[in-house]
Structure 1
């Protein structure tokens, strides 16, 4: 466990696609001292570290977890291995930051959350987009009432992507948008049901195109479109409120956020007299567009800083284990809906109990 006399000893497990980014940001975070890069392919780990690195490469997770210099572990292994690796780290009394998704199922994810909470350990999800300046600005704007009442959320995340071997497009791409939505929702707004549809036009054996609809307890709706087969890359989120609407274009570095004072206002029925029963009268509001100035900071650096601060101050991070569990609940409901032709499925609302024990 961390002491006040030294930095937090850290090990990164997994030297694949995301591992080098984690190594770079861990080494740039003063609160951490990177002790190990662990991978079953030790030569790959050594290549990532470089010839002159003082960080140790290891092919043994047991060796890493047995070292008292390691206080925390970052897990960047395939999703199917998350449960075993994260649970081993928790049982070794290590804090854990894990890539999405938390686990392969809600039941496994809940076991990890409970194990970490029982030991007083930080369990955090690397939901990187939640730590972007755009997401942080949007969260503050929504939660301070700057958008008015939330009306809808709409996300498009499509590109000519890598068809995954172990998950469909919903499980691969939708966690990004689900985690963003959960992190920016105002107090008291939560998902209650999900419907999803998917298609496999190329015969990959899993859905390559997916549409997911989420109904909120306030009547607001969220929609997510994900696609591995699009020749163009689009990453756009639109959040509509009764006062303003925000468009987040993540591929536009010069103007990622645009805040529009434009929308539809409903006339007060009391002012319409007898005609109010005949028609719903609306007026269209056209105001200014503002592009807020955002800081230019790598989101993964903020992830590492949040992980370190959560360990140091013994507090829950923004994307804690329970937020990862909510994402799993939504994904499992979406999968069940897709398997049944798109019917609406309830979302688990009591994360402390098993699916079999919950009646919604």
Structure 2
């Protein structure tokens, strides 16, 4: 038996993704799911049937006004992330907020400031940083097994879900921006992005973005909800090895390629100095757990222990800064924007 009382938690937003968050938090030991908040009556009715012990409400203020509530989970549409997270932190609650945590860097900075002022844990749902396949490759990078990481590129495309409050880049890119920051481990210096809106005026359905980092490293992102394929793939190119993470694959989620180009400085011409190396392809065994469960468990542990979450407010702020620069570049048809 635990020697501390259960963590009392409330969630606002029980939609497509929010239902998964609710399920995982409800299943954690030493967590009491106290409140579920949503504007849709049918959604609240479904929550009441599945979790009869949970109080349901249309009023977000009910969560803020509950003095016994420890933490708030925010899984609404993006424009509501900042005002709700701000209000929750001001009410003294710990906050888990879905990505992106805000729409502007100024808003994100405000949330970081509030969390630090009130000594509250602020965590952002950058899910891939808790994904066992991505953690496996991150460990390879830290151990130097890929050599120097030169660049990475990602594809996150599908047919749907089409949103109205954000474009495809805002909806899909935060995942891969967080991965790029973690894997390249350099300061981003500029962003260039291009895209087009085909289904709704002013809301890009497809976007291509390049993020430039210090030391010449770069990341290229392709995001779309108007595509015939379902692809969730990140390719990391290093000086010794290359890694491909394919989250659509059911089992073989990581492939390591022992490939590269080696140089011999003693040669006087480039052709003679470069040797193509093509070795084995290795598919490692990775013990998979649901990434969302690992993410939710991490938040609860951080609230209990006072630890800084792996994807804390400052990590969320770094991603929002890149998002903001990319959106400015989109509006200027690919102009390079300093970060």
* TM-score normalised over the length of structure 2: 0.95
Q: Which residue of 1 aligns with 2:262?
A: 265
1:195 aligns with 2:187: no
Q: Which residue of 2 aligns with 1:205?
A: 202
Q: Which residue of 1 aligns with 2:309?
A: 317
Aligned equivalent of 1:332, options 299, 317, 324: 324
8 Å Cα contact 1:64/1:70 also seen in 2? yes
Alpha-carbon deviation of 1:190?
2.3
8 Å Cα contact 1:42/1:58 also seen in 2? no
Q: What per-residue deviation string (whole Å, max 9, x for no partner) do you get for residues 313-349 of structure 1?
A: 11111111111111110011111122222121111xx
Is the deviation greater in 146-155 or in 176-185? 176-185
1:343 aligns with 2:339: no
Question: Hey, what's the Cα distance between the residues in 2 that align with 1:207 and 1:330?
Answer: 17
SS of residue in 2 equivalent to 1:116? helix
Question: Hey, what's the Cα distance between the residues in 1 that align with 2:176 and 2:124?
Answer: 14
5 Å-filtered alignment, 1:65-76, equals: 65-76=64-75
> After TM superposition, which residue ranges in structure 1, 4 or more long, deviate above 3 angstroms?
201-204
Pair 1:294–1:279, CA change in 2 (3 A): closer
The unaligned stretches of length 5 or more in structure 1 are 348-360
Pair 1:202–1:27, CA change in 2 (3 A): closer
Alpha-carbon deviation of 1:62?
1.6
Aligned equivalent of 1:231, options 221, 228, 231: 228
Alpha-carbon deviation of 1:43?
4.1
8 Å Cα contact 1:235/1:250 also seen in 2? yes
1:306 aligns with 2:303: no
Q: Which residue of 1 aligns with 2:109?
A: 110
8 Å Cα contact 1:35/1:69 also seen in 2? no
Pair 1:52–1:143, CA change in 2 (3 A): closer
Alpha-carbon deviation of 1:262?
0.7
Question: Hey, what's the Cα distance between the residues in 2 that align with 1:108 and 1:260?
Answer: 41
Q: In angstroms, what is the RMSD of aligned CA positions?
A: 1.7
| Aligned residue-pair number | 338
SS of residue in 2 equivalent to 1:293? coil
Q: Which residue of 2 aligns with 1:246?
A: 243
SS of residue in 1 equivalent to 2:222? strand
Q: Which residue of 1 aligns with 2:132?
A: 133
8 Å Cα contact 2:74/2:95 also seen in 1? yes
5 Å-filtered alignment, 1:1-360, equals: 5-50=4-49, 53-186=52-185, 189-202=186-199, 204-268=201-265, 271-272=266-267, 275-276=268-269, 281-347=273-339
* TM-score normalised over the length of structure 1: 0.90
8 Å Cα contact 2:64/2:91 also seen in 1? yes
8 Å Cα contact 1:195/1:344 also seen in 2? yes
SS of residue in 2 equivalent to 1:83? helix
Alpha-carbon deviation of 1:185?
3.0
Is the deviation greater in 127-136 or in 92-101? 127-136
Question: Hey, what's the Cα distance between the residues in 1 that align with 2:197 and 2:58?
Answer: 37
Alpha-carbon deviation of 1:68?
2.4
Alpha-carbon deviation of 1:201?
3.5
Question: Hey, what's the Cα distance between the residues in 1 that align with 2:35 and 2:136?
Answer: 35
SS of residue in 1 equivalent to 2:111? helix
Question: Hey, what's the Cα distance between the residues in 2 that align with 1:285 and 1:52?
Answer: 57
Alpha-carbon deviation of 1:51?
5.6
SS of residue in 1 equivalent to 2:128? helix
